Amino acid sequence: MIVAFGTINVDMVTVVSRFPVPGETVKGRDYQLFPGGKGANQALAAARAGASVVLVGAVGRDGLADVALANLKAAGVDVSRVGVSASPTGVYMIAIGPGGENLMIGANAANDSARATWLEGLFRPGVTFVTQNSLGTAEVEVAIRMAREAGARVVYNAAPAEPVAEATFAAADVIVVNEHEARRYGEILDLPADPAGFARAAAARFGRDVVVTVGSQGIVGCVAGRFVSAPPPPVAAVDTTGAGDAFCGALAAALDRGATMETALREGLAAGALACRETGAQTSFRDLAEIRALAAGVSLAWA
């Protein structure tokens, strides 16, 4: 079973011809509403990849809460631990540029009421815990400590990059960041800022597997003391929103069912690539059959 802890949002997405500079208005022709939030996204991605998932987080007492939870309920994710806050459901405004890259502005709102104590009773050996920094590092540090003490596996997507106690990194089994977060953590932790250098140095310092996603270049990482790299399978990218969450969810789902880290990386890369083919995050997540079919062509290089 996977326990996911993180933000639950609704994304308001518009496509623009270019991103604005400060003080400038750039208009999109239309907009769409998509369920989002890193916690919800990773929970759904893991469920689509075949895992049994419980999501812990918070929404508001408003109509957007129904939008935020609809895909999760349809996929069979257990949302009974999702709390209801007096604050509104979290929202992100996302602009999609012509190359598929995105620019985001968000409001945490109800997410700020989520607490690590809501996770009590869920952790035990055999459970995989998936979390990020989206709810703030204070709650996440407590949650990871709870999971580790109970013997659960911890997949920690340390995003966004924030100062975190080194004990929190050391308590994770797998640490996942993107290239921008690796650069920031390199500054915070006095480690190399380049993705490959960071992966090697962080793995050595914390004694954990470290994976850095590098966009269209795929991944670099250090797994069980060995350096690994791989390009993603080729797809026609439309929108990269949610690709990192798809990677984390599929990787966690593979590990949760007992797959090797090599298989988990392949399936994570495939899931992330598939998520780039459509606009929005959750709408682009694919099931295990599609993930496995594309993952079969992923080649990992070990050193």
Could you tell me which residues come within 8 angstroms of residue 27 by beta carbon, excluding any fewer than 6 positions away?
16
- Determine the pLDDT at residue 121: 97
Q: Cβ(302)–Cβ(267) under 8 Å?
A: no
Sequence-distant (≥ 6) Cβ neighbours of residue 8 within 8 angstroms: 37, 39, 40, 55, 57, 58, 59, 68, 69, 82, 89, 90, 110, 111
Rounded alpha-carbon distances, angstroms, from residue 161 to 11, 26, 72, 185, 291: 21, 28, 26, 7, 28
Maximum separation of any 2 CA atoms in the chain, in Å: 52
pLDDT at position 32: 87
Instruction: Give the DSSP H/E element, type plus range, for residue 149.
Output: helix 137-149
> Which contiguous run of DSSP H or E holds residue 128?
strand 128-132
Give me the phi and psi of 267, to 5 degrees please: -70, -35
CB-CB neighbours of 190 under 10 Å: 9
- The predicted model scores a pTM of 0.92
pLDDT mean values, one per 10 residues, the chain (303 residues): 97 92 93 92 97 98 96 97 97 87 90 98 98 95 98 97 96 98 96 97 97 95 97 82 93 98 97 86 90 94 94
CA 66 to chain centre: 21
Contact 181, 194 (CB under 8 A): no
pLDDT of residue 237: 75
Dihedrals phi, psi of 164, to nearest 5 degrees: -130, 145
Query: Nearest CA to 265 among 169, 201, 199, 205?
Result: 199
Q: Is 140 helix (H, G, I), strand (E, B) or coil?
A: helix
Q: Which fold has domain 2-302?
A: UDP-N-acetylmuramoyl-L-alanine:D-glutamate ligase (3.40.1190)
C-alpha of 16 from chain center: 25
Tokens found for residue 188: 């915070």
Signed CA dihedral, 41, 42, 47, 50: sign only: positive
Cα–Cα nearest to 35, from 81, 1, 79? 79
Pair 130, 170: CB distance under 8 Å: no
In 167-231, beta strands by DSSP E: 174-178, 209-213, 219-223, 226-230
Contact of 213 with 219, CB cutoff 8 Å: yes
CB distance 79 to 73 below 8 Å: yes
Question: What's the helix, strand, coil split of the chain in %, to 5?
Answer: 40, 25, 35
Residue with tokens 């815990």: 129
In 3D space, the residue among 276, 241, 244, 275 whose CA is nearest the CA of residue 32 turns out to be 241
